A and B are shown apart, each in its own frame.
Chain A
Amino acid sequence: MMDIKQAILLLDNIDEQLIKDFIENEWVKPLTKQGTYYFDDIDLARITLINDLLSNMQVNSESVDIILSLLDQVYGLREQFRKVTKAIEKQPRSIQAEIFSILHETQG
């Protein structure tokens, strides 16, 4: 956990205003306590990604909304998929084999 000043020291080419804009757009959601923002590593990585989109890839800010929404869905689905995989791992071998056989068939 770090505040915005510490976060800026770790980020290249990103200033305080930019981070505040990201937060205002609800692209980044740091923990907020009594009006002060606290950032995790994931927030820094997300800020870097958004900055990559806007500067290196020249994506406009409307498109950032769409991209983040789709990305969040992809990562959300990946989490669901991991849960399902865990549930399958807990099944007896015979059930696992049935599931894989069906998956194999439906991929054809």
Chain B
Amino acid sequence: MAQNNPYSILGIDKNASDKEIKSAYRRLSKRHHPDLNPGSKEAGTKFKEINKAYQILSNPEKRARYDRGEINMEGEPEYKPSGGFYRDYADKAEASRYFHENTGHFDTSDIQNIFSSFFTGGTAGNHAGFKKQPSDVYYNITIDFMESVSGERKRVTMPDGKVLDIKIPAGVEDGQRLRLKGQGAHGSINSESGDAYINIHITPHKIFTRKARDIFVEVPVGFNESLLGSKITVPTIHGPVEVTIPKNSSTGDTLRLKNKGIKNGDQYIKIKIVMPNNISESLMQSVVEWDKASHFNPREKMEAMV
């Protein structure tokens, strides 16, 4: 059985050298030492097995007898340090003389600090969650980008079964927290109800990104459209809008659509020139001729900077 095979326990093969056995044992015992894994019951059993396996394989005589099938792992004494494992004591009050030294002295205000650092999340730390009324409740909801932009009313069933009507304000930002007064737990501690706090998470949009009230979008423009100048249709959060691409536009040029962002924000269009995949012979010929005649160096500025 694999479980009782000292070679497979140490993850080595039958021909492993003493050195390989030793290094496998060291590696595994570091990983599975019960005192280094205080929360894991598994580590205790695993560690004992590793030690039994090592007792057989590290002793040439025992190893030979095991290989001949004369002994198995059953007869090996269990690894049990005198006095027991450290973790058996470290989880008791008597251990405090060891951990208080290095952890600093914990008191309840430390616990409050730990909690408030969790509860306030990314928002300002000036209102520590722990100090709020005990019957406040906290929820998370995820809305999509377009919902966050236009705002809306949502009826949401929370994981604890509570149904809330939430008015999401237009332009709400990722990580923003809404407060619903009186929608918390009914006071089993206080007679009045606490508040519900809703953390808003926004899933990113495939084309729109946002900075404060401005919207950014990258728009593919054909090389012909940019060369000749043209009118194209561009999506905005308020619907499609016709935009003039000026002659000779380049990738990276940015156009601004006033008031097409969130509230009075703007939309910025970043041009991205795209080449067609079917260019005619005659056009190719013209480009070759133009290339010979012109002294166009698109990297002129860059070269000057190096």
Which A residues are closer than 8 A to B by beta carbons?
A: 10-12, 29, 40-42, 44-46, 48-49, 52, 56-59, 67-69, 71-80, 82-84, 92, 94-95, 97-98, 101-102, 104-106
Contact = CB atoms under 8 A, between A and B. Distances in A.
A4 B1 CA distance: 44
Nearest to A9: B82
Nearest to A50: B86
B35 A73 contact: no
Interface string B30-69: 1001011011000000000000000000000000000000
30 contacts: A10-B82, A29-B97, A41-B84, A45-B81, A45-B86, A45-B88, A48-B82, A49-B33, A49-B35, A52-B33, A57-B30, A58-B26, A59-B30, A67-B36, A69-B102, A71-B36, A75-B87, A75-B98, A78-B90, A79-B99, A79-B106, A80-B110, A80-B114, A83-B111, A95-B134, A98-B185, A102-B137, A102-B138, A105-B140, A105-B159
B95 A44 contact: no
A59 B27 CA distance: 11
A14 to B, nearest CB: 9
A97 B185 CA distance: 11
B85 A45 contact: yes
Interface of B: 25-26, 29-30, 33, 35-36, 38-39, 81-92, 94-103, 106, 110-111, 114, 134-135, 137-140, 158-160, 185-186, 188-189
Given A57-B30, A84-B111, A75 B38 contact: yes
Given A29-B97, A72-B102, A83-B111, A49 B86 contact: yes
| Interface SS majority for chain A | helix
Contacts of B25: 56
B26 A56 contact: yes
Contacts of B100: 76
Contacts of A10: 82-83
Contacts of A59: 30
Contacts of B188: 92, 94-95
A76 B38 CA distance: 11
A91 to B, nearest CB: 8
Contact of B159 (A78, A94, A101): A101
Contacts of A45: 81, 83-86, 88-89
Nearest to A46: B86
B102 A73 contact: yes
B159 A104 contact: yes
B102 A76 contact: yes
A46 to B, nearest CB: 5
Contact of A94 (B35, B94, B185): B185
A57 B26 contact: yes
Contacts of A95: 134-135, 185, 188-189
A80 B93 CA distance: 11
Given A45-B86, A49-B33, A52-B33, 8 more contacts: A10-B82, A48-B82, A52-B29, A68-B102, A75-B91, A75-B98, A82-B91, A92-B189
